[in-house]
Amino acid sequence: MQHHVVLHYSTVSTTEDDMTDNVAVMQDYTIEVTGDNGQGQELYLLVKPNTDLDSSFKAWDTDEQEFVQVNGWLWTFTSNASGQD
């Protein structure tokens, strides 16, 4: 299934020094996924367990170190956990 994204960046009420993957993991964003939009763009995200990747969902962008809102139906996602897709 092909997915594309429109990202809307949200703010988080922590200091800039606290903005690490740890912030997301502590809020239960523990599943690693990679998104590909078929146009050379990739996202490396942490999502909550049971996130519907075909919906609009909040995720942690591990490259930009911030929360993003992703329209999942615009991207193709693969799980970075062995044995899961």
Residue 54 domain flag: yes
Query: What pLDDT is stored for residue 82 in this prediction?
Result: 55
Number of Cβ within 10 Å of residue 70's Cβ equals: 27
d(CA 41, CA 28): 26
Domain assignment of residue 20, yes or no: yes
The predicted pLDDT at position 85 comes to 44
Structure tokens at 38: 């078929």
pLDDT of residue 20: 86
What residue numbers bound the domain in which 12 lies?
8-79
2 part of a folded domain: no
Please give the Cα distance from 22 to 18 (Å, whole number): 8
Residues in the chain: 85
pLDDT averaged per 10 residues in sequence order, the chain, 85 residues: 46 53 94 96 97 98 96 95 53
Domain count, the chain: 1
Question: Taking CA 52 as the corner, what is the angle to CA 25 and CA 54, rounded to the nearest 5 degrees?
Answer: 125
Answer whether residue 33 is part of any domain.
Answer: yes
